[in-house]
Every structure is written in structure tokens, then in C-alpha cells.
Structure 1
Amino acid sequence: MKALLFICHGTRLAKGRMEAEEFVRLCMAQVDVPIKEICFLELAEPSIAQGFERCIQKGATSISVIPVFLLSANHIKIDIPKELQHLQNKFPGVDVNYGRAFGVHGAISHLLWEKITKSRVNLRKNTQILLVGRGSTDQDVKRDLEAIASNVQNHYGIPSIQACFLTGSEPSFEKALWSSSESYEQVIVVPYLLFSGLLINGMKHTITRYQQQTAQNVALCDTLGYHPILKDVLLTRINETLETKKYAFS
């Protein structure tokens, strides 16, 4: 019997967990698979092991694992595959297919443009847009977010957009924000984060400190949240994984 196991990152904030679960359940409703479970990599329960075992308890003989992550970093490439390998060793009779993160998908440009236009800031040549990712020591994350920023700029003719990061990659969000004060009159900050959490709270504190020391206008967009475009991208990744004929963790 087939099962889908969705892995979200997890957060200590109840609001963030609820947002993630609501988004995944909306996608679940459009997939005809008998067993569907949600779990978290860290900071929330059920854990990956708990979610995996719930699938087995319900009769799963084949589990398609869907990482609900925007970009492929060490969590996707190392942490989750390591846990899945351990679980498959524990349950050798279960087939496991591992899907892909959202990644660089053309449709996401339209979602980001929507976030930018909803910031209620009039775009001018002296407007800087900062696309802010979580960040990672994995250089693929830097490359992919820069590609997404480039896609938005090319599609909508944005004068200036820069990818920056909260941790692990350069330039940092704080450095990019301060650099913008030298050449731009206003900044639009677009968090490339799925849901609410401690990271977005930290960004708000950084912006507050920055505005206390400069006269620059800074608009912070909402996180990506549930959106029909993201739902469609996730459904694409689900269908890809369900069509996989053999176990693969990469």
C-alpha cells in the first residue's frame, strides 16, 4: 500500500507549525494516496521516525517522502537521507522514494512579484529589493537563490534585486541591508521563507535597528505562506516522486 510522508522543517513557534500543517493538508487533499502523514525534521513532533512508523502501522509497503523545503541544502542532502537510510534498514521490506525540494521553479517568480507589489512601495530606479534566504554552507543554496532572484529581475524588469542570507552564506542580510543605504532611497525585503518562525522575528529586529540609525524606508514582505503557486509546485514534486520506480535518496 502506498504512503506519502511529508517532512517539514519545524519550528518552536506554534503558529509556524500550524501554517506548515495547513499548507500540506491542502495539498494532501488533491492526491489519491491511501496513507498520508506529516512530520518534522526538528523542533516539532511528530519526528521523521514517528511519521515513518505511523505509515507502516497503517499498512504502508511503499513510502514516498516529500521534503517541504524551498531549497536543497544539507538538511535535504545529508540529514534527511541519513534518517531515511536508518529507517529503511530497520524496515527492509518497505520501499522508500525520496523526492525533491521546491528548488528553482519558474512559477515562483510570479509569487515573489506578487509579494513585492503588495508591499505598497512604489518601485523606482532607486529601490533595492533584498531576497533573503535562510542560508547554508552548501554553495548550491547560494547559486539557486541567486538564480531565483535573476528570474524575477529578468521577467519583471526590476532595477535591482540581490540575494542575501540569514546564515551560512554571503552576503549576510544585515550586510546587504546596510550596503543599500549607500545607493538606494528605499528597500523592499522579501523573506524567502515558507512560514512564520524565529527567523522572521529576527529579521524584524534587524530592520528596526537599521531604521533607528538611518532615514531609509524599509518594507518587509510577508513570508511565502500558503499560495496556489506553491501548492502547484509541491503537487509537481509529489507526482514526480510517486512515479519514481526505485528507491533513491538523492
Structure 2
Amino acid sequence: MTANARAAPDARDDTGVLDDEAVLLAGHGSRREKSNEQVRTLAADLESRLGLPVDAGFLELAKPSIPDAIAGLAATVSRISVVQLSLFAASHVKNDVPLAVQRARNEHPGVAIRNGAHLGVHPALVDLLDDRAAAVEGELGVDRETDDVAVVLCARGSSDPDANSDAHKLARLLYEGREFDRVETAFVGITEPRLEEALDAAAKHRPDAVVVLPYMLGDGVLTGRIREGAAEFDDEYPYVDAAAGDPLGTDSRLLDVLGDRWQEARTESVDMSCDTCKYKVELDGYEEDVGGARATLRALTHRESHADRDDVDEEPHAHDAPAKHVAVCTNQTCAADGAPAVLEGLRQAARDSDACDARITRSSCLGRCGDGPMVAVYPDGVWYGGVDGSDAERIVSSHLDRDRIVSDLVDQVL
């Protein structure tokens, strides 16, 4: 139990529900207002379901931000449960949202703020996918009990193997106990197999129909690409009927899952996949991602780089970001050792430089207390320790301008 959880009173009404409790539904955020409205709609529906205040907050690209939304709730309640409207546990779930929540805890020490899990793998989601598949079968005029119907479940794809493995698990659960000929997993990007590859593989078994299920929350750019891929496959293989279904949308079964995630958060029984988390254990091919400090830096960098996102119609998660991100630890110990002067010195030297392409920001503790002030340069993975204000110009002119590491200041290289 956290210190925040112990600090808040346990006031309950006659129904046993905390009368000073609220929920924040944390969405990713989009430049497409339609996607943001979906989050707000689910928040309103969840409020009706739970009978307590539910607000929507966004990680990026939409307002209010998660810290701002928490601040609005913190003025009226003493307990807040954050429920994440994310399909899988990748970096946003493991790094970015927890970072935003921790900052909110620091700003509201008298409020118990608990961070809940993502949607993940849940029986209600499998049932929802089953219904989406049945709708496409009706459109194509086929029946899985009499025809050979193959399904391709297409998710976004992630650089986190834990998230990708859950997509495969959902596909297998959809297959087990049903009359589908087969259920395969595909991804729009980042990892394999891609949708086109999975569709071609399914065609080799000569099914009567292929149902493509976009495993997406909304009807956005990626869902459109999945529909286009299904249509192209349908044209290319005339002996197989194919069509794509609808995304998850605001189906009421999402509320079943969100309600469970709320209960887990408020009772501190969140079960995350720590045994397969690339930030906690060494997985083949992902050894360099292990470590809380690396995860924190990645979250800070990602948050800053999204300030320069291009239009939503561009490649998803494409960034017009600076070449380097510099994080300066301004936690209590480093601050006492002169970190604010280092931060300002770096920023001033960067402004004076014609070649520097870097964003310089504050960071919370980087886990090197006593060795600071600490300055971390990302994506190079170079950490400088014991930095003085007078060292700022050297770091900028040598490392940031010319990619020459200031060797006498190096604390560690990740």
C-alpha cells in the first residue's frame, strides 16, 4: 500500500461505495476529435454504470491532460482511481501514464491516487470480437458452422513483445470453443506478421471466407488501413470472400472490462505482467530495455517529442522531434547540488548555438542520488554525473553540437 493510500480517509455511503471517490478514464488522445469524443462517451457511460464521478483525461494531443484532469477531481474527492483505456500493456501503460500519475501524486499529497491496468485480455472482449465476426459473416452470407471461415485479428503492433503476445492470446481464445476454421493474428505495423502476409497465408487453406477484425478502439487511420487491406485481398483472391468488421467502439462490454479494472485499482489488486515485461526482466533481443531509469527516460523523451506531432493523417506516431533529448535531474539531492544552474546553463548554451538540435527538460529522480547533478542525453544513453553549471557549455558544444562525448564527466553509458 502506498503512502497516498494510507493518507486518505475511508468514508463510505450506505451502498458501500466511497462517497468521496472518483475515476479518471485515461485515453491516449488524438488530433481527430471524433476519437477523443469516444473516450468522453465511455467516461460518461462508465459514470452511469458505477454511480460516481468519472472524467476523461488524455496522455497527449487532447485536453485535459491526465495531470489536469486529476487536479480537477482532486479538489472534490480524496480517492481517485485511474483506469487506462489502452488495449495492451506497452510503453504508454508501463511508462507514460505511471509517470503522469506519479507527478499528480506529488502535486496532491492528500489524495490517494491509484493507477489501474489496461483493458488487456478479458472474456468480455472475446465475446465482443465474436459478435463482430458474426456481423461480417452475415454480410458475406456465410456461416461458420457450415462454411470454412477463417479470421484474422489485426492489432496495431508494438515494440513490446508482452503487448504483441496478448494479441495472439486473444486470437487463440477466440478460436477455442468456436467453429472457425482458423484464427490468425496480424499487425498493421512495427512487428510481424503484417496483415497482407496473414491474409495470404490464410488464402492457402482455401477457406470460403476470411473475416478481418480490426482490434482497435476507434474508426481512425489504422482501422481504415485494415479495411483497405481486406478489400484489396478480396479483389486479389476471387475464390475467397473477405471483409473487415467494425472496431470496438463504445460497446457496453467495454464497460464490463473498465468496471473490473476500476475494482482492481481501488482495491490495490492490479495484476500486471511483470514476468514478461521487457523493462523488468531480460528478454532475448530486448536486453537494452531493462531498467527503471531507461524506462523513465524513454517516457520523458516520448512525452516531449509528441509536442511536435504532425497531422494525424501522417504515419501514426511519426515525430518531428529534435535529434537529442537532455534530461536534467532536479530531484531534491541534485537540486541541492546545483541542478537548476546546470539546467539553465544547458538551455542558454543551446540557445546560443547554431548547431544544437536538442530539447532540454527537467527530470525526476534518475536513481543516482549523491552522484549528481545528473544529466542524461538520449537516445545516446550517455549519463553525465557531478555536472557543474560551468560544464554546460562543454556538453552543448561538444556532445550536442558535434556528437563528441565529454569523457571526463561520464557517469555511465547505457
The two structures have a TM-score, normalised by structure 1, of 0.88
Residue of structure 2 in register with 1:84 after alignment: 101
1:69 aligns with 2:70: no
* C-alpha distance in 1 between matches for 2:155 and 2:42: 20
Spell out the pairing of 1:103-142 with structure 2 (5 A cutoff).
Answer: 103-119=120-136, 120=138, 121=140, 122=142, 123=144, 126-142=148-164
Q: Which residue identity does 1:176 align to in structure 2? A: A
Distance 1:143 1:97 in 2: 26
Indicate the percent of aligned positions where both proteins have the same amino acid. 27
Q: Distance between the aligned counterparts of 2:103 and 2:204, measured in 1?
A: 51
Residue identity opposite 1:218 in structure 2: A
Aligned ranges for residues 189-208 of structure 1 at < 5 Å? 189-208=212-231
- How far apart are residue 112 of structure 1 and its match? 1.2
What is the root-mean-square deviation of aligned Cα atoms in Å?
A: 2.3
Match for residue 242 of structure 2 among 218, 222, 228:
218
Aligned partner letter, 1:49? P
In the TM superposition, what is the alpha-carbon distance from 1:100 to its structure 2 partner? 1.2
* Contact 1:149–1:163, Cα closer than 8 Å, also in 2: yes
Is 1:235 equivalent to 2:237 in the alignment? no
Contact 2:126 2:174 in 1 (8 A): yes
Say whether the 8 Å CA contact 1:9–1:42 is kept in structure 2. yes
Shift of 1:66: 0.6
- Aligned partner of 2:72 among 31, 41, 54: 54
Greater mean deviation of Cα atoms: 66-75 or 87-96 = 87-96
Q: Which amino acid aligns with 1:195?
A: G
CA apart distance, 1:64: 0.9
Counterpart-to-counterpart distance in 2, 1:218 and 1:45: 38
Paired residue type of 1:217:
D
1:149 matches 2:167: no
Structure 2: tracts of 5 or more residues without a match: 1-19, 275-414
What is the count of residue pairs matched by the alignment? 246
Measure the CA separation in 2 of the matches of 1:64 and 1:107: 21
Note the C-alpha offset of 1:245: 8.4
Structure 1 residues 212 and 159, CA gap change in structure 2 (3 angstroms): closer
Change (3 A) 1:245 1:169: closer
Distance (whole Å) between structure 2 residues aligned to residue 231 and residue 96 of structure 1: 21
Shift of 1:183: 2.9
**Alignment partners' CA distance in 1, 2:194 and 2:247:** 18
After superposition, the Cα gap between the structure-2 partners of 1:140 and 1:125, relative to the gap in structure 1 and judged at 3 Å, is farther
Residues in 1 aligned to 2:49 and 2:55: alpha-carbon distance in whole angstroms? 14
Q: Is the 8 A contact 2:39 2:56 kept in 1?
A: no
Which structure has more RCO (C-alpha within 8 Å, separation ≥ 6)? Answer: 1
Q: How big is the shift at 1:206?
A: 2.8
What amino acid sits opposite 1:191 in the alignment?
Answer: P
Where in structure 1 are there 5+ consecutive unaligned residues?
Answer: none
CA pair 40-150 structure 1, distance change in 2 beyond 3 A? same
The amino acid of 1:51's aligned partner reads A
Counterpart contact for 1:108–1:229, Cα < 8 Å = yes
Q: Given the alignment of the two structures, is residue 6 of structure 1 paired with residue 28 of structure 2, yes or no?
A: no
1:169 maps to: 191
User: Larger Rg: 1 or 2?
Assistant: 2
**SS of the counterpart of 1:176?**
helix
- Residue equivalent to 2:300: none
Residue of structure 2 equivalent to 1:97: 114
SS at match of 1:132: strand
Distance in structure 2 (CA, Å) of the matches to 1:181 and 1:59? 57
Residue 49 of structure 2 aligns to a residue in which SS?
Answer: coil
Could you tell me which amino acid in structure 1 is paired with residue 175 of structure 2? Q
1:40 equivalent in structure 2 = 58
Q: Deviations over 1:125-178 (max 9, x none)?
A: 643210111221111112211111111111213210011112233212232123
Separation in 1, partners of 2:78, 2:153: 41
1:184 and 1:142 map into 2 onto residues whose CA distance is 27
